[in-house]
Amino acid sequence: MKYIFILGHNPKLSIAEILAVLPQATIIEETASFLIVENKEFDGAEMLRRLGGTVKLGEIIGTQISKKVTVEHLKEIKAKTKLNFGLSYYDCKPDNLGMEIKKELKDSGVSCRLVTGKDQALSSVIVAKNKCEEFLILGKKWLGKTCAVQEFEDYSLRDYGRPRRDLKSGMMPPKLAKIMINLAQAPAGATILDPFCGSGTVIQEGLLLGHEMIGSDNSDKAISDTKSNLEWLRVNSRLEVINAKIYKTDVRQIAKTVGKVDAIVTEPYLGPALRGKEKIH
């Protein structure tokens, strides 16, 4: 099966994460916009929930841009009301294919709407909110169909909706935390340590990936923030149990508290935040 991964803001990091999660995958084509791989079949929505650096995931349905193939796929969909569809162009310029498909569908008696956006590729937000059947035009060579888009509302909630956020110290985005955990390639259900847990972002993302998490920090505020955020996560997620241990300890003494772990994923202290007014000597 050939799969398409539409990459996030840092394509190289996104690709590294994908290959860490799918080490047996064979790369078919790689650009700054997308990655196409050959891999055994998997659940697209579940895979996208696991990845932090991929914004869309789809399947290749053709090796040439074909109005006929696209129309056939759309006709197979049993829409209860009007059928919403859209086209996203990556590494190529948009054309009139969308309007041609719309005309052919309407001539066939299919009630439909062509969903468009201000950019040549539809955002995940547009695809999700319009319940849109999206087709991917990749370099005028590949035709794909989106099977899942990134759960932007969930990420936003876990980033901005938590009760404790430390803007002064800075916070790792949940997507980056998930990428880092996946790059560690720890086995399923592994024990992962974050010795600078801060607000608990790595801990929360590790729990959502099914790992046992250990967090520590030498700051009373960080420990309190992490515990509050994990309780919030328990209430606002599908997790029934928060399988995490949180300790207040200096990282230099952590071996006295924490035993063997499978991986360490963390963001240590990076120095004072830069405000743009610093002088270089």
- Is residue 123 situated within a structural domain? yes
Q: Which pLDDT score, from 0 to 100, does residue 167 have?
A: 64
- Is residue 197 situated within a structural domain? yes
Task: Dig out the tokens for 105 from the structure.
Answer: 């569908």
- Is residue 269 situated within a structural domain? no
The CATH number of whichever domain residue 63 belongs to comes to 3.30.2130
- Is residue 13 situated within a structural domain? yes
The more confident residue out of 81 and 244 is 244
**What stretches of the chain adopt beta strand conformation (E)?**
2-7, 26-30, 34-38, 54-62, 83-90, 112-114, 133-138, 142-149, 191-194, 212-217, 244-248, 263-264
Q: Give the span between the Cα atoms of 264 and 184, in whole angstroms.
A: 8
Number of folded domains that form the chain: 2
Same domain for 204 and 239, yes or no, is yes
Containing structural domain, residue 78: 2-150
Same domain for 128 and 230, yes or no, is no
**What stretches of 63-170 adopt beta strand conformation (E)?**
83-90, 112-114, 133-138, 142-149
Same domain for 131 and 48, yes or no, is yes
Same domain for 11 and 134, yes or no, is yes
**Rounded to a whole number, what is the distance in angstroms from the first to the last CA of the chain?**
56
The CATH number of whichever domain residue 249 belongs to comes to 3.40.50.150
Residue at which a domain ends, from 89, 124, 150? 150
Q: Which pLDDT score, from 0 to 100, does residue 81 have?
A: 72
**Residue 104 pLDDT more than 70?**
yes
Same domain for 146 and 219, yes or no, is no
Q: What is the pLDDT of residues 119-145, one digit of tens each?
A: 999 999 999 999 999 999 999 889 999
Count other C-beta atoms under 10 Å from residue 170's C-beta.
Answer: 12
- Is residue 66 situated within a structural domain? yes
- Is residue 135 situated within a structural domain? yes
- Is residue 237 situated within a structural domain? yes
Q: Which pLDDT score, from 0 to 100, does residue 274 have?
A: 73
- Is residue 155 situated within a structural domain? no
Convert 224-250 to b/e letters by CB count within 10 Å (16 or more is b).
Answer: ebbbebbebbeeeeeeeebebebbebe
Run of H or E including 20: helix 11-21
Read off the pTM.
0.91
Q: What is the pLDDT of residues 217-229, one digit of tens each?
A: 999 999 999 999 9
Q: Give the span between the Cα atoms of 223 and 197, in whole angstroms.
A: 8
**Residue 23 pLDDT more than 90?**
yes
**Residue 150 pLDDT more than 80?**
yes
166 pLDDT band, cuts 50/70/90, is: confident
Same domain for 213 and 75, yes or no, is no
Residue count of the chain: 281
Same domain for 113 and 167, yes or no, is no
| Span of 6-10, 77-81, 187-191, 202-206 with lowest mean pLDDT | 77-81
Same domain for 130 and 19, yes or no, is yes
Same domain for 59 and 187, yes or no, is no
CA angle (105, 110, 116) in 5-degree steps: 65
Same domain for 83 and 11, yes or no, is yes
Same domain for 31 and 76, yes or no, is yes
Same domain for 106 and 189, yes or no, is no
Measured torsion, CA atoms of residues 25, 28, 31, 32, in degrees rounded to the nearest 10: -20
